[in-house]
Structure 1
Amino acid sequence: MSLLALDAYDMSPERGFLCRYNADEVILPGDWAQAAAVALRLPQLLPTGRVRHLMLRGLPMFKDGDVDQLTEEMARAAMAHYSFLVQSYIWGEAETASVLPEKLARPMCALAERLGQQPLLPYSSYVLDNWALHDPEGPIELSNIYVLQNFLGGQDENWFILVHVAIEARAGAALNRMKPILDAVEEGDIAAVTKLLTETAEVWSDLKAIFDRMPERCDPYAYFERVRPYIHGWKDNPALPEGVLYEGVVSHGGARQSYRGQTGSQSSIVPSMDALLGIGHAADPMKAYLDELHIYRPPGHRRFIDDLREQSNLRAFVMMAKDSALSRAYNANVQAVADFRSRHLEYAASYINKQSRNSAGNDTDVGTGGTPFMKYLRKHRDETSANLLPVT
């Protein structure tokens, strides 16, 4: 079985894993629009210190089945707004909330079930579906994109999200080459595989260059104090040791729920490259965590990674070919992923680990997904580099 075309996985060459529609053009109907209006006021509500009361006052009460009136695009837009509302309710006041009221819990869970995701803020709502173009005819790059939904707003929060958007867009060119690479491997075409891998490595050079721009407009202190507090989850989080009760959600049977927080590790770019290149990681808590995050990705993106893992025999092909140009092209991609992981490790240190103050749920030693990240990020970077092949 051959890898399918990108659109079968809800992807595109121009946008990669980003939404293929223009999110700013989605119009929500009725009560959904009312809820979106409340969410868009979060930058005004959160500084009051009583965001819970103010948001609940303006939110409608939905009935079972109300989500059925929404198109796919509408459901994704509504999920983006509701996931920001949910996070703001849990983390937006001095004391952490452990019970999510029915006005938030029921629509959040209905939207998540409709979209095959988890009922809190996922990377897809934070980044993939949360951007628009200033010039609709212009490119998806940092000079031409803006954020649709914020918590507090401001340059640091926006830039943090937009750097991820720009990376995702540029990654489309690499993702678009994965099917041709596997097809060329199947045909035994060494020259074609070498050319495609060389082009993919060049795309990864661009991705790292975009990533390198994070400090330009997102300050580490501002990130830790004003951006990060709102994106935590409630699994392995000492501030919510028993999880969160979603009121009125019958399917939960009254049980509290624990979910991982929003994290760049939910992006599908690096896992796709690992799958293509045949890079594996030894068992450790971080690998178990990353495997667990797979369910937090949109269903189409999960299928893309799964199909790549099942079908890619690129590494074996390169090893058997014993062609120096092919091996160098393959290694260039392995090194590019390792370099990207190195930059991530550096940012984890400066933006989180070296910050001086812990607060409830915002620990300098624990990632937003709930893991002690530093040693495992380093280990996975080193394991990536260990996959470099000898060049004959």
Structure 2
Amino acid sequence: MRLAPDGSSYLTSSSRQAETSSKSLFSLDSYHVSEELGFILPDPLEKLPLYYQPWMDIALRVPELVHSQELRTLINKMPLLSSQFLQKHKELRLAHLALSTMAMGYVWQGGESDTIEILPKSLAVPFWEVSQRLGLPPILTHADAALANWKKKDPEGPFDMENLELLLSLPGGDSVQGFFLVTMLVELAAVPALRNIPVVISGVRCADSEAVARALETISQSLQDMTDTLKLMHDYKPFLKCVLIFIHAHMNRWKDNPSMPKGLVYEGVNTEPMEYSGGSAAQSSLLHCFDELLGIKHEEKSGAFLTRMRNYMPPAHKQLIQDISLQPSLKSFVQQQDNEPLNQAFQHCVAKLLALRNYHINVVSRFITVPAARARQLRDKNQTSEGEMISRAPTALEERGTGGSGIMIFLKTVRDHTRDAFLPDTSKEKEHNS
């Protein structure tokens, strides 16, 4: 059952007991959010029905086929298959992952200087159909690469880096594997926070300061765990492979990309080019949920980009964010209560989110900004070994992020507006303590 978002007033004490006992008041399950895995797709399928084996045969080999320059040839020969035999949600998610992986490789097989303008019908038509059924765009998204692209080596083993591997990969070897799996583990670290968002909402509506404070402290710890997990990214940092990650993943977009100024024609779908943004951390529903819960407001340009990124999320996840935004204001509730433990819990939560965003800026600098500058340096020197190998690195990496805007400017703007969410007079102290 969805929470009825009247947003008008807090519940009276006489209503508190009945509402607090109602576990279905704001059910994460109704938004396709797992109590154990959050936004991660539980137990993704590894195989599609036999009819779709031509897709999987190619998708499983994308890295080697890009390297041998054979991918486009094989996709051009691929039969046009109907998507009608895909019946279950997990079948559609695996199909979307396979088709988007092939599309990324097809477009970028030759690098920035050899992009294509038309995606062939045998790939474009089913990709479009599957995307329409899922409510996702026909491009590789965070929901594909980071949420539905995993399996355990030992099904009974732990959910950690040593026991996880990707279903489908992109060129870049261990760095690509590490990048996407660490990203997924960051999502996993957020699960306790997600579970406590309904607790906060219910507590605000019931005017239960103690319940809200406890839930916010749990969310704060979860945010700290997300930051700690993100640090695993530095175990997968070889320079060349890091550049390749963003050639074949984050820069795989056909919107705001100088290499593809008109976008991409999906043959058999539309005669005019279409533009879509590439995979981005901004497509993760997590931070959108936290922003709405804590009342963080972003300025017009960055806010518009973040809002647009919600169209790259599974519709149920996007709806969750929207429904959180319609609830009574947590920040207003905290300010009205005059309750020091509650104030501290709110401040601590904002501080941890700010620290996470600061650390994300550090990661982006090391994995995108610095490698891109190195790529430019090697091109300028016309080096023949490493320079040749990275010559395909998009020049857009050097100044642009996945949304087509200056990535560091964007991230720092979002970070600064997170700081604005602190309660008055204590923001400097709380940021220092974070």
326, 343, 354: which one pairs with 2:342? 326
Shift of 1:26: 4.6
Q: Is the 8 A contact 2:32 2:39 kept in 1?
A: yes
Identify the residue that residue 84 of structure 2 maps to in structure 1.
67
**Corresponding position: 1:270 with 2:287:** yes
Q: Distance in 1 between matches of 2:404 and 2:104?
A: 15
Identify the residue that residue 389 of structure 2 maps to in structure 1.
none
Task: Trace 1:251-270 onto structure 2 (pairs within 5 A).
Answer: 252=270, 254-270=271-287
Letter in 2 for 1:206: D
Q: What is the alpha-carbon root mean square deviation over aligned residues?
A: 1.7
**Corresponding position: 1:46 with 2:80:** no
Q: Taking structure 1 as reference, are residues 221 and 324 closer, same or farther at Cα in structure 2, changes over 3 Å only?
A: farther
Letter in 2 for 1:380: V
- Listed one character per residue, the Cα deviations across residues 39-95 of structure 1 (whole Å, up to 9, x for unaligned) are 0011221111232113333x22124xx335431110110110000000111111141
Identify the residue that residue 9 of structure 1 maps to in structure 2.
31
79, 88, 91: which one pairs with 2:105? 88
Q: Distance in 2 between matches of 1:173 and 1:289?
A: 27
Q: Is the 8 A contact 1:334 1:388 kept in 2?
A: yes
Q: Taking structure 1 as reference, are residues 214 and 26 closer, same or farther at Cα in structure 2, changes over 3 Å only?
A: closer
Task: Trace 1:1-392 onto structure 2 (pairs within 5 A).
Answer: 1=4, 4-20=26-42, 22-23=43-44, 25-57=45-77, 59-63=78-82, 66-94=83-111, 95-152=114-171, 154-224=173-243, 226-231=244-249, 232-249=252-269, 252=270, 254-284=271-301, 286-354=302-370, 355-356=372-373, 357=375, 359-360=393-394, 362-390=396-424
Moved more, 7-16 or 47-56: 47-56
Q: Distance in 1 between matches of 2:305 and 2:131?
A: 21
Q: TM-score, structure 1 length as denominator?
A: 0.93
Shift of 1:199: 1.2
Shift of 1:220: 4.5
Q: Distance in 2 between matches of 1:155 and 1:360?
A: 21
Q: Is the 8 A contact 1:278 1:312 kept in 2?
A: no
SS in structure 1 opposite 2:58? helix
Q: Taking structure 1 as reference, are residues 139 and 8 closer, same or farther at Cα in structure 2, changes over 3 Å only?
A: farther
Letter in 2 for 1:17: F
Q: Taking structure 1 as reference, are residues 83 and 203 closer, same or farther at Cα in structure 2, changes over 3 Å only?
A: same
Identify the residue that residue 8 of structure 2 maps to in structure 1.
none
Q: Taking structure 1 as reference, are residues 321 and 306 closer, same or farther at Cα in structure 2, changes over 3 Å only?
A: same
Moved more, 148-157 or 187-196: 148-157
Alignment size in residue pairs: 382
Q: Distance in 2 between matches of 1:141 and 1:324?
A: 38
Moved more, 130-139 or 291-300: 130-139
Letter in 2 for 1:330: F
Q: Distance in 2 between matches of 1:19 and 1:62?
A: 25
Shift of 1:283: 1.4
In the alignment, structure 2 segments of 5+ residues that lack a partner are 6-24, 377-392, 427-434
Q: TM-score, structure 2 length as denominator?
A: 0.84
Letter in 2 for 1:38: I
Q: Distance in 2 between matches of 1:75 and 1:349?
A: 35
Q: Is the 8 A contact 2:46 2:167 kept in 1?
A: no
Q: Distance in 1 between matches of 2:211 and 2:425?
A: 18
In the alignment, structure 1 segments of 5+ residues that lack a partner are none
Q: Distance in 1 between matches of 2:330 and 2:240?
A: 42
Shift of 1:353: 1.7
Q: Which structure's CA Rg is the greater one? A: 2
Identify the residue that residue 384 of structure 2 maps to in structure 1.
none
Shift of 1:380: 1.3
- Listed one character per residue, the Cα deviations across residues 198-230 of structure 1 (whole Å, up to 9, x for unaligned) are 111111111100011211123354211x21111
Q: Is the 8 A contact 2:296 2:420 kept in 1?
A: no
Shift of 1:185: 1.1
Q: Distance in 1 between matches of 2:159 and 2:260?
A: 38
Shift of 1:136: 2.2
Q: Is the 8 A contact 1:86 1:100 kept in 2?
A: yes
Q: Is the 8 A contact 1:14 1:170 kept in 2?
A: no
Moved more, 86-95 or 267-276: 86-95
SS in structure 1 opposite 2:84? helix
Shift of 1:361: 6.0
Moved more, 161-170 or 67-76: 67-76
Q: Is the 8 A contact 1:121 1:262 kept in 2?
A: yes
